[in-house]
Chains A and B, each alone.
Chain A
């Protein structure tokens, strides 16, 4: 039983446009592998239960709690972590709107909002709120985060 728990395999993951290899246990979550094997510690273990969103990464562009997906399940998918987010518009919006205090929720939020903007560039307040529901920020009271999202959406429309 204990030995089975340790059973694992060599996998290749496409992370941030790079192919990375690791020997993982079958039961390792993607969050664990990102942090412990690849040093991609921007994904945070806030609850390991899918409740707080701090470990959010993009899997094929969709925000996923990386504590809720096994590393072996991530094979064949395109994974983006905060370290690989090269379009820094939303990061700059977070900085410009003071949407960061302790910063622990920030990577998860930024990836979540990045996906929102890519998927629904015309998102209204209701949709923004719905997307923001999946994450917890314990410091800001959310107003600055909402402003960062709205200002980014507005800026995109002006630029179009």
Chain B
């Protein structure tokens, strides 16, 4: 570790966005009032699957102030990030409860709401597909009759015509027969859960205005301003340069703001009123089910191992419940296939990972992108295997931990850099949680049962092969630097971390770095999205490159001033100086905006540092074997949960939750701990109580925060966090990803802990006392 030699990296530099947030001064997308802005409100479907027989707008038009009402025929073409399968407003039929059917544009929000409620839609119900297992049946009702006509937007998405399969990713590694023959013991495990939600506190919202020269101005709460621009450009045939997307700080996202939905509708609405600015904002109820949700899963895992516990074969089937449309569900099913085994070395792997249409609200990325979901399935299976083998679940994981020299399911060769250290994470989590196989189940004096459960996880970022970021540095006359970069601040602290990377490189104080918090596609360099725990790596490398560029320019001008060669110069603390005589130098202030000699002559212009970074060597996966490289590196970790279970009423309390992450390099420890705690919280909230409840007609019964339950302050455990630092050679100062990882293993660790406590196979989520009661009492499949 070179920790000691860093001055800014590894320090808990206070987050730059905190003071304004604490004083209520931060302006989010919808915190501006604009005179003359028109308000849009949606009319959404009350049915999960139905033909739209008629839409009566007459009463809605009677409401004063209504300027436009749009229905599906305003743009009857499917859009979507990976497979274009979703019209912005329903055309001919609805496929989920909450689907937008019409949008009203009015002078004020009250008029728009009133008119939207007065729209009368006549439906003719169709059979409802209420689970991915139902959707896969050979005689299943088709949700998309014209699947074969849909345009594949991203290479590597494989829909199956005349089925409900939006994507199938296959993994074929090694030889399954060999694997089963080498196995003394096999176990099978099945888990399932229905969709849930991100429930970011700021609901999704957007404004669009079309200027008279055709320029499209978009203001959106999004994780991907450039992605919004890309999709608007592609689907509405607008030159990308004519679209400007602006995003201020975002009030939580968790993956739910990584796709494009309201922006399409706001654009169509603005176009319908002559380009005037139109604003659309989700109510909480709309945000929960009309906008995309957290994906559901039905997974089967079969593992084979020797009697010593060495894994030899894994056969895995994922049925992802992507709901009515595929959105990024196709990518999630691919990402889950890529990492389907969890962080274990297995030579023979067979995986079919399906993205399946149902009549549920449609899914998009959720923090972890398929990994919290697959990890629940795999970690449940690992504990089952440990029980069959009668070995310590910890030792089983340690024995099979993947590492350098092994290959991933998609046959990427792992080395000392591109994967973190699973074994070290496991060893540390053992100490952190106090794991002792002989004392993991303890009965308290009042008859409660205390147990511990562990899980292991890994994740690579399934970025597109051309995922990129850029950074631009400009200098102020006081020698301070402006850092412009299109990474979006979602609360994760990315702007602070990028500032630290720049400060370290230029050997400056972070107070002299001014990071622009807002993003504007018109003057920030392109960035793919702020997702996939990839920003520190991709944008961080862009910042380093921009710093190198600025240093080169500063040294060039400095060498003239100091009458030396640029190679003999160094930069630190706002000065350019001779390496061998640091007292002989010049201030950056005097150089960065042109050096002025005493007689007034000036040399050098403005120093503007530019840099960019693009992920390297990524490929789509082979459609038959999955062979390919999905991401640049694998972050790994281990987690544990301790619960206190009450066998009398099946309730439980989460006592402790622990994470050890191989961070590569922790750039900001306090921010990193916050990310891990917040990740654990989100994972535990999901695993303990979050899910949508559907009736047999596919209607969501709990589309509000009163009934969609979320873990609150009194119910949270003591959080324990530690890190391992195995440097990623390509990462800035060795850093790997961080943002998503805290979520990934929580459901698995909790389910393993509770399963030990109640001696039942808790194979569904959320783990409510009612579910535990049913499974303990053998009441069968409660779904």
Instruction: Point out the residue from A45, A48, A81, A132 that lies within 8 Å of B24, measured CB to CB.
Output: A81
Q: Is the CB of A143 within 8 A of B719?
A: yes
Verify A136–B21 contact, CB threshold 8 A. Answer: no
Tell me the complex Cα distance, A83–B31, Å: 14
Q: Which residues of B contact A50 (CB under 8 A)?
A: 706
Chain B positions within 8 Å of A39 at CB level: 33
**Residues 104 to 134 of chain A near chain B (Cβ within 8 Å):** 104-107, 110, 129-130, 132-133
For B21, list chain A residues within 8 Å (CB): 100, 103, 106
Q: Do the beta carbons of B491 and A102 come within 8 Å of each other?
A: yes
Residues of A within 8 A of B33 (CB): 35-36, 39
Q: Closest residue to A102 on the B side, CB-wise?
A: B491
Interface centre among A82, A88, A91, A103 (most CB of B within 10 A): A103
Q: Counting chain B CB atoms within 10 Å of each CB, which of A47, A54, A129, A139 scores highest?
A: A139
Asked if A83 and B678 make an inter-chain contact with CB atoms under 8 angstroms apart, the answer reads no
Which chain B positions have C-beta within 8 A of A103?
A: 17-18, 20-22, 26, 249, 251, 491
* B130 CB → nearest A CB, Å: 27
Q: A104 with B28: in contact, given A91-B22, A129-B713, A141-B681 (CB under 8 Å)?
A: yes
* A138 at interface, CB cutoff 8 A: yes
**A54 to B199 alpha-carbon distance, docked (Å):** 13
A46 touching B284 by the CB < 8 A rule?
A: yes
B680 engages A94 (CB within 8 Å): no
Question: Contact check: which of A95, A102, A130, A135 meets B251 at CB < 8 Å?
Answer: A102
| Chain B, range 709-735, C-beta contacts under 8 Å to A | 710, 712-714, 716, 719
B597 interface residue (CB < 8 Å to A): no
B19 CB–A CB distance under 8 Å: yes
Evaluate contact between B713 and A101: CB separation under 8 angstroms: no
Pairwise interchain contact B202-A104, C-beta atoms closer than 8 A: yes
A104 close to B201 (CB less than 8 A): yes
B706 touches A51 (CB 8 A): yes
- Bound-state CA distance A144–B719 (Å) is 11
Chain B, range 185-234, C-beta contacts under 8 Å to A: 199-203
A41 touches B202 (CB 8 A): no
Is A143 a contact of B677 with CB atoms below 8 Å? yes
Query: How many whole Å from B739's CB to the nearest CB in chain A?
Result: 11
- Min Cβ gap B399→A in Å is 32
Chain A nearest CB, measured from B638 CB (Å): 18
> How many residues of chain B get a CB closer than 8 Å to chain A's CBs?
57
Given the interface contacts A44-B251, A141-B680, does A82 sit within 8 Å of B23 by beta carbon? yes
Q: Is B704 an interface residue (CB 8 A)?
A: yes
**Interface flags, A75-101, vs B, CB<8A=1, else 0:** 000000111000010011011001011
Quick check: A133 and B712 within 8 Å, CB to CB? yes
Query: Which residue of the partner chain, among B64, B199, B491, contacts A101 with CB atoms under 8 Å?
Result: B491
Residues in A whose Cβ lies below 8 Å from that of B490: 102
Given A47-B284, A105-B201, the answer on whether A140 and B31 have CB atoms closer than 8 Å is: no
Q: Which residues of A contact B88 (CB under 8 A)?
A: none
A144 touches B674 (CB 8 A): yes
Q: How far is the CA of A45 from the CA of B221 in the complex (A)?
A: 14
**Which residue of the partner chain, among A25, A44, A95, A130, contacts B202 with CB atoms under 8 Å?**
A44
Asked whether, in the complex, the Cβ of A91 is within 8 Å of the Cβ of B23, the reply is yes
Assess the A52–B714 pair: CB atoms within 8 A. no
CB within 8 A of A100: which of B22, B30, B250, B680?
Answer: B22
Interface of B is mostly: loop
B705–A2 touching, CB < 8 Å: no
- In the complex, the answer to whether A2 meets B714 with C-beta atoms within 8 Å is no
| A1-39 Cβ-contact flags toward B at 8 Å (1 or 0) | 010011000000000000000000100000000011001
Cα distance, A95 to B110, chains bound together (Å): 38
For the complex, give the distance between the alpha carbons of A35 and B679 in Å: 31
Whole-angstrom CA separation of A82 from B22 in the bound complex: 9
Q: Any chain A CB within 8 A of the CB of B254?
A: yes
What 0/1 pattern do residues 665 to 703 of B give for CB contact below 8 A with A?
000001100100111111000000000000000000000
Choose among A36, A101, A130 the residue with the greatest number of B CB atoms under 10 Å from its CB. Answer: A101
Assembly CA distance A92 to B444 (angstroms) = 41
Q: Which of the listed residues A44, A82, A130, A145 has the most CB atoms from chain B within 10 Å of its own CB?
A: A44
Q: Is the CB of B201 within 8 A of A44?
A: yes
Point out the residues of chain A lying under 8 angstroms from B678, CB to CB: 101, 139-141
Given contacts A49-B704, A94-B22, A103-B21, contact A133 B284 (CB under 8 A): no
Q: Which of B630-681 contact A (CB under 8 A)?
A: 670-671, 674, 677-681
Report if B338 contacts A (CB, 8 A): no
The answer to whether B710 touches A136 (Cβ under 8 A) is yes
Complex interface bits, A136-160 against B, C-beta within 8 A gives 1, otherwise 0: 1111111111100000000000000
Instruction: Give the interface centre of A102, A133, A142 by most chain B CB atoms within 10 Å.
Output: A102
A35 to B249, CA, bound (A): 18
Tell whether, in the assembled complex, residue A100 and residue B712 are in contact, meaning their CB atoms are under 8 Å apart: no
A63 contacts partner chain B, Cβ-Cβ < 8 Å: no
Q: Which of A6, A50, A81, A106 has the most CB of B within 10 A?
A: A106
A140 to B21, alpha carbons, bound, how many Å?
Answer: 14
Residue of A nearest to B28 (CB): A104
Cβ of B14 < 8 Å from any Cβ of A? yes
Chain A neighbourhood of B310, CB < 8 A: none
Instruction: Name the A residues within 8 Å of B682 (CB-CB).
Output: 138, 141
A145–B63 CA distance with the chains assembled, in angstroms: 46
The interface bits of chain B over 163-181 (1 if a CB of A lies within 8 angstroms of the residue's CB, else 0) are: 0000000000000000000
CB <8 Å contact, B491 and A95? no
Shortest distance from the beta carbon of B456 to any chain A beta carbon, whole Å: 21
Task: Please tell me if the beta carbons of A140 and B201 are within 8 angstroms of each other in the complex.
Answer: no
Q: How far is the CA of A141 from the CA of B743 in the complex (A)?
A: 11
Q: Which among A49, A107, A139 is the interface contact of B491 at CB below 8 angstroms?
A: A139
CB-based contact A2/B63 at 8 Å: yes
Beta-carbon contacts of B1-32 to A below 8 Å, as 1s and 0s?
Answer: 00000000000001101111111111110111
A98 CA / B250 CA spacing, docked (Å)? 17
Residues 463-505 of B, flagged 1 when their CB comes within 8 A of A and 0 if not, give 0000000000000000000000000001111000000000000
Known: A44-B251, A104-B28. A132 touches B713 (CB 8 A): yes
A106 to B252, CA, bound (A): 12
* B564 interfacial contact with A, CB 8 Å: no
Closest to A136 in B: B710
User: Is B22 touching A110 in the complex (CB atoms < 8 A)?
Assistant: yes
List residues of chain A with CB within 8 A of the CB of B252: 101-102, 104, 138-139
Residue B507 is within 8 A (CB to CB) of chain A in the complex: no
With contacts A44-B251, A95-B18, A102-B249 taken as known, whether A136 is within 8 angstroms of B712 at the C-beta atoms is yes
Known: A136-B705, A138-B682. A102 touches B201 (CB 8 A): yes
Q: Which residues of B contact A136 (CB under 8 A)?
A: 201, 705, 710, 712
How far is B712's CA from A133's CA once the two chains are assembled, in angstroms? 6
> How far does the alpha carbon of A106 sit from the alpha carbon of B677 in the complex, in Å?
17
The verdict on A2 contacting B114 (CB below 8 Å), with A91-B22, A110-B22 known, is yes
Give the CA-CA distance A42 to B490 in the complex, in Å. Answer: 17
Contact status B110-A5, CB under 8 Å: yes
B283 contacts the other chain (CB 8 A): yes
Residues of A within 8 A of B31 (CB): 35, 41
* Cβ-closest chain A residue relative to B27: A41
CB distance from B30 to the nearest CB of A (A): 8
> Nearest residue in B to A38 (C-beta to C-beta)?
B33
B22 contacts A98, C-beta separation under 8 Å: no
Query: Chain A 54-83, CB within 8 Å of chain B: the 1/0 string?
Result: 100000000000000000000000000111
Which residue of the partner chain B has the closest CB to A90? B22
Q: Which of B250, B680, B716, B719 has the most CB of A within 10 A?
A: B716
Cβ–Cβ < 8 Å partners of B110 in chain A: 5-6, 25
Q: Are A140 and B283 in contact (CB under 8 A)?
A: no
Give Cα A36–Cα B281 distance, bound, in whole angstroms.
14
- Other A-B pairs beyond A52-B705, A143-B719, 5, CB < 8 Å: A41-B24, A92-B22, A104-B251, A137-B201, A143-B677
14 contacts between A and B (CB under 8 A): A41-B24, A44-B28, A46-B203, A46-B284, A47-B284, A49-B706, A82-B23, A95-B19, A100-B491, A103-B20, A104-B252, A141-B680, A141-B681, A144-B674
The 8 closest A-B CB pairs, nearest first, are: A42-B24, A102-B491, A103-B21, A141-B681, A82-B24, A104-B251, A101-B491, A129-B714
